[in-house]
Amino acid sequence: MAESQKLFAPVGEKEVTRAIIEEYTKELYDYVESDVIVVGGGPSGLVAAKDIAKAKYKVLMIERMNYLGGGFWIGGYLMNKVTVRDPGQSVLDEIEVPYKEVTPGLYVADGPYACSKLIASMCEAGVKVANMTMFDDLVYRENGRVAGVVVNWTPISNMPKEITCLDPVAFESKLVVDATGHDAYLINRLSQQGLFNKLPGHGSMWVERSEDALVEYSGEVAPGLLACGMSVNTTYGLPRMGPTFGGMLLSGKKCAQVAIEKLKAMNGDGASPNRGSTSEKAAT
Ligand code: 48F
């Protein structure tokens, strides 16, 4: 085919590689310091990150998998319809996902549709994502205040230590959110270090109790460390809710509200001095 007839621009391998390296490292460099780090990209973490970023704070999402969404792609039992109990559908309205009422107060939506729209709305709010990145440890300041996370690439974390003797790196933030689901990795780490009680684990399924309790308990767990989603149930021994997601979505919202109040108090006037700082400076 003649050069002039080619559909694609005449750009080769080295430009592609440089584009990836340059853009990724620039972003990562900028987000070494954020207002909030959310660890875990399931439904609760996605909502929390989205709402905090919408309030113009600088948010980094850390996710161990290459995809976001956690358990929100599938409703339950390998069936991809997700349910929410009233008023959880308010989040579906917000992200413009269609649903139908199957019985008064119970709504059903398509899992892939709801999950992909929630991820997109989080990205549109300005959240940056470090995926394939695994939480390893917490960063502390005086009086045990949590001030960041230590992470490594997921493949490195999953290889035997004798092969990968590679140190992790740390990211700093004003607040950190544990949205890692049933395992509550961050709060468990606090507990291992004697800075929090031993976690009871979540209780058995009782949907009519669990969702209200989850939203009530979502928020600050320890200085600098907040929690949303199943990690809250694990931390406080609350019953699980099974395959219904309104509690997860509203837990993310509650956690974001608490985070925003704290950030406003820390910054004095509510403005984020951090967001886009390095990239904006670089661009001017
Ligand atoms: O489990 P997950 O979806 O958490 P959630 O937001 O929602 C729970 C529901 O999906 C469901 C339920 C519904 O009622 O009970 O289970 O509480 O998502 C947790 C995310 O955290 C990531 C994990 O890959 C998933 O995407 N994650 C877990 N541990 C780590 C992590 C870690 N150590 N480092 C980074 N990401």
Give pLDDT tens digits for 73-123: 999 999 999 999 999 999 999 999 999 999 999 999 999 999 999 999 999
Which of 248, 250, 253, 255, when mutated, tests ligand 1's pocket best, judged by the most ligand atoms within 8 Å of its CB? Answer: 248
Residue with CA at minimum distance from ligand 1 atom 16 = 71
Atom number, ligand 1, closest to the C-alpha of residue 242: 14
pLDDT at 273 over 80: no
Domains within the chain, CATH numbers bracketed: 24-78+124-283 (3.50.50.60)
For residue 66, report the distance from its CA to the centre of ligand 1, in Å: 13
What are 135-154's pLDDT values in tens digits?
999 999 988 899 999 999 99
Does the Cβ of 219 fall within 6 Å of ligand 1?
A: no
In this predicted structure, what is the pLDDT of residue 110?
Answer: 98
The token duo for 257 is: 């509200």
The Cβ of residue 43 has, within 10 Å, a number of other Cβ atoms equal to 31
Position 275 scores a pLDDT of 67
- Ligand 1 centroid to Cα of residue 164, in Å, is 26
Total length of the chain: 284
- Atom nearest to 40 CA in ligand 1: 21
Kindly report the pTM of this predicted structure: 0.95
- pLDDT of amino acid 281: 38
Let me know: does 131 contact 68? Beta carbons within 8 Å: yes
